Structure 1
């Protein structure tokens, strides 16, 4: 008893340590564990349409290679507004970190997706800016010129002309501390800059660096007596966003100077500063600090409307009590030049975002904000009302930037399907289908088909609505060769799975009591009508199958269906190891009770061989800094 109790205590701790209650799991994608969201809607009717584009990560730096062998969790993901997964790109990118994952409408004739694939842990790859089409296939894979270092995680901004993109750049060099009155000393300096890159050739068409443009005195991260550092050196400005207006000038955000800068596209000089230790060049009615994601909303002549996230703090200090998303108006044609707040959206929980984040103005003028830690996101009306807030169920994960877009995804890969058969005798056999289609956005329902062999015509056996990433459907009878078809809201079929074989248990070990030693698959045409309903009468077959005239079979089918569905949902809602222990215990109890009642002797588990001459089951398709 002592050792049993000790074992249970140990298992309890193992379960607690490895529990993945905060992650989704799927029968059709067994290697994937997607983060869950906890969502609160204050006014669902006023939120903008669209999907959430998020990139959860566990660590801001690349993980060790061993993480590649874990369940797929991090990387680019699309969710609907109920928190249901729509697409996971984690397998596509080998469980590596991805940043700045969003829809772009300026590349080609239809929407695309852009993202940053972070450099590899072993530096075998230096990272890329990437563009995917609506089929989630790579259209562009843009490296950064080798002398500009690794592709930085902060920004890959495809510009309105669709021909170039701007990216942030981090470089290091050794400098004198003469600016701080210490000419005899030197330190390494991490300079922030940006590059504009041609999307067809990967050539750098424009580049800019902060050193010799932004003096050391503008940093708020170091003091005149700060200790010199070796490579990479002082991160004295920390650039985290860049945008370009129609006039050809660049807006950049420097987190460690608390300043937005407008840089000339002609000669690279600083046209104006907004914010900073010396209050910049503007008379303004607000402050901001440690900001992120400064973007032009309008820019014409001397008037600019800009959105950004005002973090108002870093890991050490806070200049304000709450972080906010701001929309500001800058006018550089007046004397003095002026800047004022047009809209302010305070973080709903009244707290501070000390690292990362972004702010996105949606087409209906709502504001969508990522507060970063824990994947915390919010949507506000243009009037400032909080409409929705959500965060990852697990605090282990964070998200640098999150976006919301309308998007139609049509993957070239077919839907993923798994099917299995269950029953104790010929009267209650049921076939369970699981289906998902990673990345397909406009599925309204699924059609289910079965056929007597790979050469027979498919028979329609039912339809059910799609309400989650993965759908389960249970059909009467042992159905072997199965396919599943996706249907849109207009009733049009637009994607069909490959033909799959249904898996079956070891009938002897599972408690089979039928008239035949093992059941054989049915010809679906003998039990299903053209509309998927069960035929009114079922004739006995020469293979020993029979029907019952009363409602016994239907009652048993209903009971089995409810049991299967409850078991399935229970397994999905609890941790993996605990689920395994629970399932083994339940199965053992059922088997022991059944054998006791029947007077059976315990037999060793054996796998029943496939019927001679039947082909094997077809293989499932599988796709291929701190701030």
Structure 2
């Protein structure tokens, strides 16, 4: 009897393939745009659309053990904009929520001994800043806190939401204000003043506020007004703050892109203690200029408690100017005795990536360095001494149509309160394939498949057909011809039920919600098959209550599920399938 996949492929036009979780690309075709500017995939059981990654260098054993990657793809080639989390081991989707739309800086931060997903959402201004609020999601993906700036005419800006150990949040803002710009031959001038604030998370009280215009001269900027500065809608952004950090002494470290400067700010009166880089640099560069020649930079962070180690994402370019040939991650050592700075290590991608905007440098728990490349859809993990040990793209290098403000590699456990999803396809004449997924759930190890041809109430061990090992975001199993009603229950490592889908009628694909709790015990969790199973003599519903020990080998590449999309109509020469492409 022909398999489901062979029948499905025979019925499909050239250029189409059904897959569960598309394995990453590894060849040169991705960067050559053979798959379009932003190859993506969708699923049968979910409406989510997420990138298919390009792995330029597979993760080596020395990579950090953090289990998730956090990005927020956006750009002219991205149709479904959303914050996203992926498993770091196979780059399969964990969670995405398009309802948040444009988001920046999605990551995990700690508040009151609990972890939260934090990010900015709002409206982006054309000049590279925005107004909105900062979201903190708990482990159930509920909005626990929604923060913004205080006593300003604008909301919080895209660039920073940094939580402190004192229960406060640091945030940026860009507020238009009338300002004397006659030095630039502009009458009735307007300035986009860079501001940072510290706000108490629990009470929303303002703790501290600082304005660049009160401490930094306009001539410190490397960005002239050009056509800006003439109105409230088009103010002159001379400073462009993009990161903030507070130390144990109560002082602040900030980065200003347009002055090429890192500033150490007194946390009491706001005075500048010292400046690193730019026109007002206070440090002697003992690395032949390589420690202070950063330009258009982002994400300045302390790397030790005595404030002598710092990392910076050195863009080396802006949209309108190229200062360096490639973007660098910098690890700097500062000496306050002689006010000197030394380049301890730089981090440069094998592709020689030059990011004209955005970007991040994260030091991982094992001291590796993880960099997100901002205007280039890519992230790279390095050893501390600069060796590339994981190199991944989700956009074309050198093409800003796919971007993510920052990228992070962190641990996360998610326990969504919504139910898992289930869907079915009956493309073949004698088999039905069922698909299961649970957006945001991180602890699923298996799916218990309950099936019956005579009853739609599937909640007990009497209806248990078999357990299927979870694979990727969406798992699938072929249930055969004898089961009309199917339900799936998500199991953890102990075989306990975490949640269950509705009941699907595979005859018409309708899913009916069920209030009945699935109770199959934990002892049955040891009888498993690997998705997808297509044994015609092991049909679901044919012997209700008897779990099968049969195994059908399958990889992510040959499981039938989601559809890959790309922005080209070129066929992919894979041995077992062909891709469907559409225009982005």
| Alignment TM-score, normalising by the size of structure 1 | 0.71
Query: Is the 8 Å Cα contact of residues 142 and 202 (structure 1) preserved in structure 2?
Result: yes
Q: 2:432 touches 2:506 (CA, 8 Å); kept in 1?
A: no
Shift in Å, 1:439: 1.0
Q: Within 1, Cα distance between the matches of 2:37 and 2:544?
A: 40
The Cα shift of 1:43 comes to 4.9
Residue 25 of structure 1 pairs with residue 33 of structure 2? no
Cα separation, 2, equivalents of 1:391 and 1:246: 37
- Mapped pair 1:355 → 2:362: no
Distance 2:407 2:281 in 1: 30
Equivalent-residue separation in structure 2 for 1:528 and 1:158 (angstroms): 53
Structure-1 separation of matches of 2:348 and 2:568: 41
Is 1:83 matched up with 2:91?
Answer: yes
Distance 1:577 1:376 in 2: 21
Distance 2:53 2:35 in 1: 19
Task: Measure the CA separation in 2 of the matches of 1:528 and 1:181.
Answer: 81
Name which one, 1 or 2, has greater alpha-carbon Rg. Answer: 1
Which residue pairs with 1:453 in the alignment? 455
* Distance change in 2, residues 1:110/1:212 (3 Å): closer
Given that 2:355 and 2:376 are in contact with CA atoms closer than 8 Å, whether structure 1 keeps it comes out as no
2:39, 2:567 within 8 Å by CA — same for their partners in 1? no
CA distance in 2, matches of 1:255, 1:386: 26
Q: Which residue of 2 aligns with 1:495?
A: 498
Q: 1:482-502 CA distances to partner (integer Å, 9 max, x unpaired)?
A: 2212233x3422423233122
- Alpha-carbon offset, residue 413 of structure 1: 1.4
The question of whether the paired residues in 1 share the 8 Å contact of 2:221 and 2:238 is answered with yes
Question: For the structure 1 residues 378 and 526, does the alpha-carbon distance in structure 2 shift closer, same or farther, using more than 3 Å as the test?
Answer: closer
Instruction: Verify the 8 A CA contact 2:38 2:51 in the aligned structure 1.
Output: no
Q: 1:267, 1:158 → 2: CA distance?
A: 21
Whether the aligned pair in 1 keeps the contact of 2:483 and 2:542 (CA below 8 Å) is no
Rounded to whole Å, the distance in 2 between the matches of 1:297 and 1:348 is 25
Q: Does the 8 Å contact 1:462/1:532 carry over to 2?
A: yes
Partner in structure 2 of residue 295 of structure 1? 301
Contact 1:375 1:392 in 2 (8 A): yes
SS at structure 2 position matched to 1:211? helix
Aligned pairs (5 A) from 1:542-553? none
- 1:528-543 residue pairs with structure 2 within 5 A? 528=544, 530-532=546-548
**Equivalent of 1:144, from 146, 149, 170?**
149
**Matched residues in 1 for 2:569 and 2:373: separation?**
33
Correspondence for 1:415: 420
3-state SS in 2 of match to 1:527: coil
Q: Does 1:116 align with 2:120?
A: yes
Which 5+ residue runs of structure 1 have no aligned equivalent?
1-7, 9-15, 61-70, 507-521, 535-557, 580-627
Q: What's 1:607 paired with?
A: none
**2-structure distance, mates of 1:24, 1:270:** 49
Higher relative contact order (CA 8 A, sep 6+): 2
Retained in 1: the 8 A contact 2:359–2:374? yes
- SS at 1:202's partner residue? coil
Instruction: Report the CA distance between 1:175 and its aligned residue.
Output: 2.0
Q: Which residue of 2 aligns with 1:612?
A: none
Report Cα offsets for 1:109-149 as digits up to 9, x if no partner.
3321111112389xxx9521111111111110113235241
Secondary structure of 1:365 counterpart: coil
Aligned: 1:572 with 2:573: no
Question: For residues 127-186 of structure 1, what are the alpha-carbon distances to aligned partners after superposition, in whole Å with 9 as ceiling and x for unaligned?
Answer: 21111111111110113235241320000111122x1100111112222246x497x955
Distance, in Å, in 1 between the alignment partners of 2:176 and 2:158 is: 17
| Aligned counterpart, 2:330 | 326
CA–CA distance in structure 2, aligned partners of residues 228 and 97 of structure 1 = 26
2:512 match: none
Once the 2 structures are TM-superposed, how far is the Cα of residue 187 of structure 1 from its aligned partner?
2.0
SS at match of 1:482: strand
The answer to whether the 8 A contact 2:464-2:544 is kept is: yes
Aligned-pair CA distance for 1:279: 3.2
For the 8 Å contact 2:479–2:540, the answer to whether it is kept is no
Cα distance per residue 1:20-54 (max 9 Å; x no partner):
9811111111x321122111225521111221100
Pick aligned residue for 1:267 from 269, 284, 290:
269
- Asked if the contact 2:476/2:559 (under 8 Å) is kept, the reply is no
Contact 1:119 1:128 in 2 (8 A): no
Counterpart position of 1:377: 379
Aligned to 2:312: 308
Asked if the contact 2:489/2:501 (under 8 Å) is kept, the reply is: no
Q: 1:268 to 1:52 in 2, by over 3 A?
A: same
Q: Report the counterpart of residue 53 of structure 1 in structure 2.
A: 70
Structure 2 contact 484–507 (Cα < 8 Å) conserved:
no
Query: Is 1:469 the equivalent of 2:473?
Result: yes
- Secondary structure in 1 matching 2:219: helix
Is contact 1:420-1:502 (8 Å) kept?
A: no
Paired with 2:80 and 2:441, the residues of 1 have a C-alpha distance of 19
Distance 2:501 2:373 in 1: 42
Alignment pair present for 1:406 and 2:411: yes
Question: 1:290-327 deviations in whole A, cap 9, x for unaligned?
Answer: 11011122233xx4321110111212333332211111
Equivalent position of 1:504 in the other structure: 507
Q: 1:204 to 1:462 in 2, by over 3 A?
A: same
Secondary structure of 1:483's partner? strand
Q: State the partner residue of 1:40.
A: 56
User: In structure 2, how many angstroms separate the alpha carbons of the residues matched to 1:375 and 1:89?
Assistant: 19
Give the deviation of 1:567 after TM superposition. 9.6
Structure 1 residues 118 and 282: CA distance shift in structure 2, 3 A: farther
Structure 1 residues 443 and 41: CA distance shift in structure 2, 3 A:
farther
For residues 208 and 440 of structure 1, the distance between their equivalents in structure 2, rounded to whole angstroms, comes to 40
Q: 1:418, 1:502 within 8 Å by CA — same for their partners in 2?
A: no
CA contact (8 A) 1:282 1:337 kept: yes
User: 2:486, 2:503 within 8 Å by CA — same for their partners in 1?
Assistant: yes
Gaps of 5+ in 2: 1-12, 14-32, 510-537, 571-584
Cα distance 1:21–1:383, how it changes in 2: closer, same or farther (>3 A)?
Answer: closer
